[in-house]
């Protein structure tokens, strides 16, 4: 017999989707926005001998992606505890 979907389940999933959408938007902004679209505007700022646009395209987007992974993991663990789904 299939499990009934409760309001608590819907709230958990809605919160999870909102978190996913926010992290993907941040990742896309940093990867595509700073690394590609805004590169001409960031060329005057230098980090470690390279302009900031190049830095975001090569390393900044990777560092941001790793930070988002840790943030998502931390937030999902807190969300699981909040909804009583922790392991």
Q: What is the pTM of this model?
A: 0.80
C-alpha distance from residue 50 to each of 46, 54, 62, 65, 79 (Å): 5, 7, 16, 20, 39
Query: What are the boundaries of each domain within the chain?
Result: 8-82
- pLDDT tens, 19-65? 999 999 999 998 888 888 888 888 888 877 888 888 878 888 889 99
């Amino acid at each position: 017999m299939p499990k009934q979907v409760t309001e608590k389940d819907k709230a958990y999933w809605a919160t999870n989707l909102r978190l996913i959408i926010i992290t993907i938007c941040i990742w896309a902004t940093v990867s595509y926005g700073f690394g590609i679209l805004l590169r001409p505007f960031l060329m005057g700022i230098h980090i470690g001998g390279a302009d900031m646009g190049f830095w975001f395209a090569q390393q900044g987007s990777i560092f941001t992606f790793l930070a988002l992974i840790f943030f998502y993991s931390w937030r999902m663990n807190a969300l699981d505890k909040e909804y009583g789904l922790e392991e």
